[in-house]
Amino acid sequence: MTPEEVLKLAKENGVKIVDFKFSDLPGTWQHFSVPVHVLSEDLFTEGLPFDGSSVRGFQAINESDMLVIPDANTAFLDPFTAVPTLSLTCDIAHPGPAGSQKPYSRDPRYIAKKAEAYLRSTGIADTVFVGPEAEFYIFDNVRYASQDNIQYAEIDSEESQWNSRGKDGVRNLGHLMNVKGGYFPVAPNDTHQDLRTEMVLNLEALGITVEAHHHEVGAAGQCEIDYKFGPLLDTADKLMLFKYVIKNTAHKYGKSVTFMPKPVYGDNGSGMHTHQSLWKDEKPLFFDAEGYANLSKLARYYIGGILSHAPSILAIAAPSTNSYKRLVPGFEAPVNLVFSQGNRSAAVRIPRTESAKATRMEFRPPDPTANPYLLFSALLMAGLDGIRNEIDPSQYGYGPVDKDLYSMTPEELSEISSVPGSLDEALKALENDHAYLLEGGVFTPDLLEKYIELKREQADQVRLRPAPIEFSMYYDA
């Protein structure tokens, strides 16, 4: 869309409010709204001022004046507002003359734009396609508190086996799911078919092409909706919109969605497996019919870059303390730093295909708490570093490994590196290994320093609080 077309869209649909959305540094949408009469073509170059000091990871109080500059290509009519509302995703900039404002170095969307530009500048490829699979849980009730004298969290799902005895005064019809029994059951066990369908229809109405939806393994309402891959920036924008649509559609049904990686003890966590491939002049670069799993040498180098930098990538890909309750060795979690065409506990899986266009690599450790702009950019930068330095994963002990990892002896497993075991470990890795992110000025030191500071504060908040299980284990000591 052009700014002129956006104004036309607003007029034709009786829009009364315009909503400006942007990502904070951790990756959550923020917004503010104005009456439609404020919208003009000049706004798309001049921007609108806002206070950046209260946004996580942004400005200090003494330098808080910032601008949102809307991107006309992101316009959509919000299906969840009572009043006709036009939504626009924005870039962040410092105040300045129209059209020449300095982009803000900590704007995640700016990082993604720079990553795509850097890719083109290398001459290696002109497009990186990204396809994330963001899993989520749908709950019927959520309660939690963290106070000086109270630490608890309680969730409920009408699908889960813990409701097999029913609730007082409410009939129980059975048809519940056992732990890890949620993969592909039909109704009445799968109670979310209609809800997911409405989510899909809302997504498609907003330009996100859905490929499939289904119940996931987690018995307490875990679900997945897969949508078509796309270029880096466009896919990151769509993932932000995806989460917005999923949460608000569920809210309409009186249900709550969380993208937390491990909200339920003892059942599957929610990941965000991220598929990637490089293309140039509309031709795929990852395919070679003679290569392992049909991978080209360039694809292997790309994988080598990601695996060699994986510990530091995890600080961005699995950026919460909760992430490491999902990434636990010995289960199905993708904690092993190897690549494989079959193993789902490998950090990098190669989906089996004979199609050159469909040949890709899948990085499995990420989860949906990641900021997609930062995650997709970091993966691209690591992959390009692997290509530039010709890092063949086989020469560095990263596989391929096609043997069942669960049948391997402790001695065999000891030769395979694992992802960090905590957010603190991942942040230390990022501090020690980030030069590849700074190439071409894509990431900047001030962004990484602020990001690490924010995440360390979160880790400290968790570390300082007693957990309920500790009372069970130690109260009578």
Q: Of these residues, 344, 352, 456, 465, which one is catalytic? A: 344
| Residue 74 within any structural domain of the chain | yes
Please tell me the total count of domains within the chain.
2
Q: Of these residues, 78, 159, 190, 362, which one is catalytic? A: 362
| Arithmetic mean of pLDDT over the chain | 94
Q: Are residues 98 and 229 in the same domain?
A: no
Whether 224 is catalytic: yes
Whether 159 is catalytic: no
3-state secondary structure of 451: helix
pLDDT at 428 over 90: yes
Q: Of these residues, 19, 116, 135, 367, which one is catalytic? A: 135
Q: Are residues 68 and 131 in the same domain?
A: no
Q: Are residues 243 and 371 in the same domain?
A: yes
Q: Of these residues, 133, 158, 237, 367, which one is catalytic? A: 133
Distances (CA, A) of 355 to 212, 285, 333, 358, 362: 20, 12, 28, 5, 16
Whether 364 is catalytic: yes
As annotated, the binding site for ATP includes 211, 227-229, 275-277, 344, 357
| Residue 451 within any structural domain of the chain | yes
Non-local CB neighbours of 362 within 8 Å, separated by 6+ positions: 273, 274, 275, 276, 348, 349, 350, 351
Q: Of these residues, 19, 107, 159, 216, which one is catalytic? A: 216
Average pLDDT over residues 23-50: 96
| Residue 375 within any structural domain of the chain | yes
CATH code: domain of residue 420: 3.30.590.10
Neighbouring CB atoms inside 10 A of 93's CB total: 18
DSSP 214-226: EE-S-TTTEEEEE
**371-380 pLDDT per residue, tens:** 999 999 999 9
Q: Of these residues, 107, 158, 159, 224, which one is catalytic? A: 224
Q: Report the candidate in 223, 222, 225, 215 with the shortest Cα–Cα distance to residue 267.
A: 222
Q: Report the candidate in 96, 46, 93, 44 with the shortest Cα–Cα distance to residue 71.
A: 44
Q: Report the candidate in 431, 430, 429, 425 with the shortest Cα–Cα distance to residue 459.
A: 425
Under 8 Å between Cβ of 336 and 405: yes
As annotated, the binding site includes 133, 135, 211, 216, 224, 227-229, 268-269, 273, 275-277, 326, 332, 344, 357, 362, 364
DSSP 147-175: -SS-EEEEEE-TTBGGGTT-BTTB-----
pLDDT interval class at 402 (50, 70, 90): confident
Whether 388 is catalytic: no
pLDDT interval class at 442 (50, 70, 90): very high
- Cα angle 139, 140, 143; round to 5: 80
Q: Are residues 394 and 466 in the same domain?
A: yes
Q: Are residues 98 and 132 in the same domain?
A: no
Q: Are residues 297 and 446 in the same domain?
A: yes
pLDDT at 437 over 90: yes
The confidence score (pLDDT) of residue 82 equals: 97
Rounded-to-integer distance, Cα 218 and Cα 192, Å: 13
The confidence score (pLDDT) of residue 363 equals: 98
- The amino acid at residue 318 is A
Q: Are residues 278 and 398 in the same domain?
A: yes
The confidence score (pLDDT) of residue 62 equals: 63
| Residue 172 within any structural domain of the chain | no
Average pLDDT over residues 53-69: 85
Non-local CB neighbours of 449 within 8 Å, separated by 6+ positions: none
| Residue 141 within any structural domain of the chain | no
Q: Are residues 267 and 370 in the same domain?
A: yes
**339-355 pLDDT per residue, tens:** 999 777 899 999 999 99
**229-247 pLDDT per residue, tens:** 999 999 999 999 999 999 9
Under 8 Å between Cβ of 370 and 308: no
pLDDT interval class at 166 (50, 70, 90): confident
**134-155 pLDDT per residue, tens:** 999 999 999 999 999 999 999 9
As annotated, the binding site for L-glutamate includes 268-269, 326, 332, 344, 364
Please report, to the nearest 10 degrees, the dihedral formed by the alpha carbons of residues 260, 266, 267, 270 taken in order: 30
Q: Are residues 321 and 431 in the same domain?
A: yes
Whether 344 is catalytic: yes
pLDDT at 63 over 80: no
* Element holding 473 (H helix, E strand): helix 468-474
Q: Are residues 86 and 132 in the same domain?
A: no
User: Please, is 241 exposed, middle or buried when counting C-beta atoms within 10 Å of its C-beta (0-12, 13-18, 19+)?
Assistant: buried
- Cα angle 331, 335, 340; round to 5: 100
| Residue 308 within any structural domain of the chain | yes
| Residue 196 within any structural domain of the chain | no
Average pLDDT over residues 415-439: 96
pLDDT above 70 coverage of the chain, percent: 99
CATH code: domain of residue 86: 3.10.20.70
**299-328 pLDDT per residue, tens:** 999 999 999 999 999 999 999 999 999 999
Structural tokens at position 400: 């391929």
| Residue 155 within any structural domain of the chain | no
**Domain housing 267:** 127-136+201-209+222-474
Rounded-to-integer distance, Cα 371 and Cα 410, Å: 35
Whether 78 is catalytic: no
pLDDT at 61 over 70: no
**102-113 pLDDT per residue, tens:** 999 999 999 999
Q: Of these residues, 109, 215, 364, 434, which one is catalytic? A: 364
Q: Are residues 22 and 131 in the same domain?
A: no
Q: Are residues 205 and 94 in the same domain?
A: no
